[in-house]
Amino acid sequence: MDPIIQLWLPILVSAVVVFFVSFLLHMVIKHHNTDFSQIPDEARIMSEIGKSDIPAGDYVFPFAKDEKERNSQEYKTKYEKGPVAIITVYPKGPMSMGSNLVMWFLYSVVVGIFAAYIAGHALTPGAHYLAVFRFAGATAFVGYSLALAHDSIWYARKWSTTFKYVFDGLIYALLTGGIFGWLWPAI
């Protein structure tokens, strides 16, 4: 089976299910509530950073523009003295989750498209449920989980946080694989 359009239903159903299960994990079970800690003296630090009127974006300090600067004694001293941090600055104003939720749903659709692409090339209509589950689920797991280790390896994100997101990704992958197996085209 080749045409990905034949798998539009499992793609969309899996995206909807993942969307709602992620809501349950984050808003009902709330197992990500401990992913971040409060910085000591938060009010003062927010006030000081606020004075700089930093535009939204990703920043690191101390900053080095190239390897030569990173090898300088001045940079090494700053790094050793600390603090050393990577921060993401959000836009000012009221917090809105609308665009994030839309992007998350679209991301889940994209993961479903890749699962459909891989399974659709590997399997034929009428394939056994477990074969479909294996191909679609493994592909979805890659899409939802594997790149997360990158942040713990390179950016010092707590491994416990990464493992929680990988666990979430496993749940999403199992659901995606199950939905693809259930809705796989018959012969």
DSSP codes joined into one string, 7-52: GHHHHHHHHHHHHHHHHIIIIII-TTTTSS-PPTTHHHHHHHHHHT
Residues 107 and 74 in one domain: no
Tally of domains in the chain = 2
Residues 104 and 168 in one domain: yes
Strand 57-61 and strand 85-89: pairing?
A: antiparallel
Residues 27 and 119 in one domain: yes
Residues 23 and 63 in one domain: no
Residues 127 and 178 in one domain: yes
Supply the pLDDT for residue 187. 86
Structure tokens that stand for 187 in this block:
């012969």
Supply the pLDDT for residue 3. 74
Residues 68 and 133 in one domain: no
Residues 115 and 173 in one domain: yes
Whole domain around residue 56: which residue ranges? Answer: 42-89
Structure tokens that stand for 180 in this block:
């693809």
Residues 19 and 48 in one domain: no
Supply the pLDDT for residue 137. 98
Residues 32 and 49 in one domain: no
pTM more than 0.85 = yes
In sequence order, the β-bridge partners of residue 36 are none
Q: How many CB atoms lie within 10 A of CB 95?
A: 7
Is the four-CA dihedral 41, 42, 43, 44 of positive or negative sign?
positive
Distance CA 183, CA 115 (A): 13
In sequence order, the β-bridge partners of residue 89 are 57
The number of residues making up the chain comes to 187
CA 19, 22, 27: angle at the middle one, nearest 5?
A: 120
Decide: 139 and 122 in contact? Cβ < 8 Å: no
Per-residue pLDDT of the chain (187 residues; tens, 9 = 90+): 667 899 999 999 999 999 999 999 999 999 999 999 999 999 999 999 999 999 999 999 999 999 999 999 999 999 999 999 999 999 988 988 999 999 999 999 999 999 999 999 999 999 999 999 999 999 999 999 999 999 999 999 999 999 999 999 999 999 999 999 999 999 8
Residues 102 and 84 in one domain: no
Supply the pLDDT for residue 66. 97
Supply the pLDDT for residue 1. 66
Residues 101 and 150 in one domain: yes
- Long-range contacts of range 81-86, CB-CB < 8 Å, 24 or more positions apart? 85/60, 85/61, 86/58, 86/59, 86/60, 86/155, 86/156
Residues 64 and 102 in one domain: no
